[in-house]
Amino acid sequence: MIRLFTILILFISTSVLSQNKSVISGVISNKETEEPLPFASISLKNHPIGTISNENGEFDFYIPKSKQNDIIVISFIGFNSYEIPISSVKDRLVIALQPSNNLLDEIVLSEITPLDYIKRALDNLAMNYPQEPYQSIAYYREKFIENGAIINKEEGVFKTFYPNPSDTIKNQHQLLLYKPLEDPQQFQFMREWIEKKAAKEKKKADEKGETYDEEKYDGTIDVDFGGPESVIDMDINQDKGNYLNPKYFKKYEYTFGEETTLNGERLVTINFKAKRKIDYQKDWGKILIHKDTYAIVLIEQTGKFSLPFLVRPILFAVGLKIGNPTFSKVIQYQKYNEIWYPKLFRWDADIKLTKRHSFEANENSNINIGQVFSINKLDAIATPIPEEKRFDTGEDMENQVYNDLNLNWNEINTVKD
C-alpha cells in the first residue's frame, strides 16, 4: 500500500508539473554559425506577453497559468521564426534559427529613395502605431561594469501609461518592484587617490579638533551614470532621433541595405550616417521599415560624443583623460492585432578613463553602462497613473515603489544573467 501510495503521489505530481509549465527555459542560436542570438524575442502567439534572451541567447519565460494553451514564438530580425505549442515543451528548449537571406528587390531601388521610405514612415505613424491609450508592464535593468567586473546592478518593474500620441502629455511610469544588487562592488578607478585624500582630511580634522565629515570623504564614488531616464522613453512617438527629424535630413546620408524579414514580414533596411557632428554627437546606424505599410520596426543607432573643447584643458590639468564616449541604442517594436507596439529599448555607453601619474603606471578604467527596458505585457485597458505614484527620474528608485498590483519577481520575465 505504501509503495502504491508513493507511485500515485509521483504520478499526480508529474501530471501537475506537465500541465503547469510556468517557466520555460532555453537558449537561441544561429543555425549556420552556432553563435548565440542576444536579445531575441520570445513571446506568445495569441497574447501580448513575452520576454527576450540575454547576451548569450539564454532565457527563462514565465507564462501565466491562464495562457498555457498558447504557442511560443521565437524570432530574431533576419531569421526564420520558430513556433512550438506550450503543451509540446518537455525539456529545456535548444533553438537554432535559420537565417533568411533575401536581397532587396531591384524595383525598390529604382522607384523610391531611402529618404522617401523614411518620409512615408513618418507620414504613416498614425496608421501603424496605437492611437488609443494603452499600458504595459516592463522589466528594467541597468548594469555598471568596470574592466569586465559588475560593479553595480539595479532591476525594476514599471507600469507605463502610454497616452494618445496626439496628446501633449508624456508617458507616465510607476515603479512596481525594485531590486538593487545585494553586494555592490567598489568603483576602482582612482580608489587609492581617494582613500589617501580621505585619510589626509581625517588627519587634518583630528589635528584641529574638528569633526571629520565621513560622508564627504567616505572613499566612495557615485557610479550612477545612467538611470531609467536614459531608456524608458525611447519610443519614437516621444523622442525621435535626429535621423528622423526633417530639420536634419540634409545632414545625413541615407542608403539602402539588404532586405530582411521578421516573422515572415519583409523589411527594408535604410542605413543612415551623419555627415558631421550635431550637438557634439556623430551617429550612424540603420532603420528597418515594413515594406508594405512603412512601419518602423527596428532602429539601431551607434555614435560618439565629443567632449567640448573648453573641458579638455581642465581635465588635462588634473591628469585626467576621457576618451570620446561611444553609445548605442536599439528601439524595437512588436506586432499585435496589426498594430506595432514597443517591444524593447536598449541603451549602452562605453567610456575610457585614464589617470596619468608622473612616477608610476597610469590608471585605466573601461566603463560600460548597459540598460534594458523589455516589455513583458501589453494591456488595452489603460488608466493614467496618479500623480503621487508617478516615477520621478530625479529621485532614487528605492524610494518610489508603489506595488498596487501586488506583483512579485516570480511573475516577471527578467533578462537572465
pLDDT given for residue 226 in this prediction: 57
Domains of the chain: 2-97 (2.60.40.1120), 106-187+223-411 (no CATH)
Over residues 144-169, the pLDDT tens digits come to 988 888 888 999 999 999 999 888 88
Bridge partners for 378 per DSSP: 136
Bridge partners for 26 per DSSP: 59, 93
pLDDT given for residue 362 in this prediction: 82
pLDDT given for residue 383 in this prediction: 93
Q: Note whether 74 and 95 are within 8 A (CB).
A: yes
Whole-angstrom distance, CA of residue 33 vs CA of residue 37: 10
pLDDT given for residue 224 in this prediction: 52
pLDDT given for residue 20 in this prediction: 44
Write out the three cell numbers for 269: 533596411
Phi and psi dihedrals of 354, rounded to 5?
-135, 130
Eight-class DSSP state of 263:
T
pLDDT given for residue 19 in this prediction: 40
pLDDT given for residue 62 in this prediction: 95
Strands, E, within 306-338: which ranges?
320-322, 326-336
Identify the segments of the chain with pLDDT beneath 70: 1-21, 102-110, 190, 193, 212-226, 307-319
Q: Note whether 396 and 156 are within 8 A (CB).
A: no
CA atoms within 13 A on the CB side of 3: 0
